[in-house]
């Protein structure tokens, strides 16, 4: 009885989340995936490791950061948390993501509980010599960009999918040109430009296809929506 009462207490938070439209959430995931590819290409030269050959920032780290920065404010607004708790959760989430990105991006070889990487991160922040494999300031800039996009991103729709496909290709071309300018032989991101382009185009085309199917949101068949979500998104992630 006690467990049931505890579950009932969380119903005001659970029910709004369960009511989220599957198509909108799938569209959002695919658009975030596409944006992560663009940022990954630019980060491949701007946020590559300082040692040669310059390794790109892990794509999964970029993707997880963009997804987290979108889902936190999205879920808070869905369950209608707008008071001081919203600010507290947002600040805590931003700080948590910054710590994770700096640790994984700049100090992958250090233990999470080691104080050494925290000291080295402080050295990098005050522009002193450190053993950071990437600039801590640039990583923090990436975190700021992700959270800005998380708050400013438009609702997923057919128009946003088309816009991302059109302008995203231009951004990808710019990222590829930047890589070729700074030194194609030394930056490993050049090995991933073709898969990145293919993954971006496929994800955007799937987004457009989903956005053109209004029946995907039919409340009578939400499970079918998630089945289609898995069918469509898994090949994209594999690519």
| Residue 183, pLDDT score | 65
Residue 138 domain-assigned (yes or no): yes
* Angular region, 58: left φ>0, alpha ψ -120 to 50, beta rest: beta
pTM: 0.81
CB 151 within 8 A of CB 183: no
| Residue 40, pLDDT score | 93
Q: What confidence tens digit (pLDDT) does each residue in 59-114 have?
A: 999 999 999 999 898 888 888 877 888 899 999 999 999 999 999 998 888 888 88
Query: Which residues, in sequence order, are CB contacts of 132 under 8 Å at separation 6+?
Result: 50, 106, 107, 120, 121, 123, 124
Residue ranges making up the domain that contains 228: 32-238
Secondary structure (3-state) at 144: helix
Residue 3 domain-assigned (yes or no): no
Query: Which residues, in sequence order, are CB contacts of 171 under 8 Å at separation 6+?
Result: 38, 42
Residue 22 domain-assigned (yes or no): no
Q: Which residue stretches of the chain have pLDDT < 70?
A: 1-21, 52, 183-186, 214-239
- The total domain count for the chain is 1
Residue 25 domain-assigned (yes or no): no
Residue 8 domain-assigned (yes or no): no
Residue 5 domain-assigned (yes or no): no
Cis peptide before 227 (omega within 30 of 0): no
Residue 16 domain-assigned (yes or no): no
Residue 95 domain-assigned (yes or no): yes
First to last CA, the chain: 48
Mean of the per-residue pLDDT values of the chain: 80
Provide the residue count of the chain: 239
């Amino acid at each position: 009885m006690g467990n049931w009462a505890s579950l009932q207490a969380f119903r005001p938070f659970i029910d709004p989340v369960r009511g989220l439209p599957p198509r909108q959430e799938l569209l959002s995931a695919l658009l975030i995936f596409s944006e992560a590819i663009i940022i990954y290409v630019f980060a491949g030269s701007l946020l590559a490791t300082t040692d040669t050959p310059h390794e790109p920032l892990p794509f999964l780290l970029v993707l997880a950061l963009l997804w987290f920065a979108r889902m936190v404010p999205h879920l808070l607004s869905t369950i209608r948390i707008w008071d001081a708790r919203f600010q507290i959760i947002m600040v805590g989430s931003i700080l948590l993501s910054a710590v994770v990105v700096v640790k994984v991006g700049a100090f992958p070889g250090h233990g999470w509980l080691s104080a050494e990487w925290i000291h080295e991160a402080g050295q990098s922040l005050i522009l002193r010599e450190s053993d950071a494999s990437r600039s801590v300031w640039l990583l923090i800039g990436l975190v700021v960009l992700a959270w800005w996009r998380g708050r400013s991103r438009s609702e997923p729709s057919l128009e946003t999918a088309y816009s991302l496909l059109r302008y995203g290709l231009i951004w990808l071309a710019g990222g590829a040109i930047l890589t070729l300018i700074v030194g194609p032989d030394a930056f490993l991101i050049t090995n991933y430009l073709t898969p990145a382009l293919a993954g971006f185009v496929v994800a955007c085309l799937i987004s457009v296809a989903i956005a053109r199917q209004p029946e995907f949101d039919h409340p009578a068949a939400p499970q079918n929506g998630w089945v289609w979500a898995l069918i469509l998104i898994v090949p994209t992630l594999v690519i």
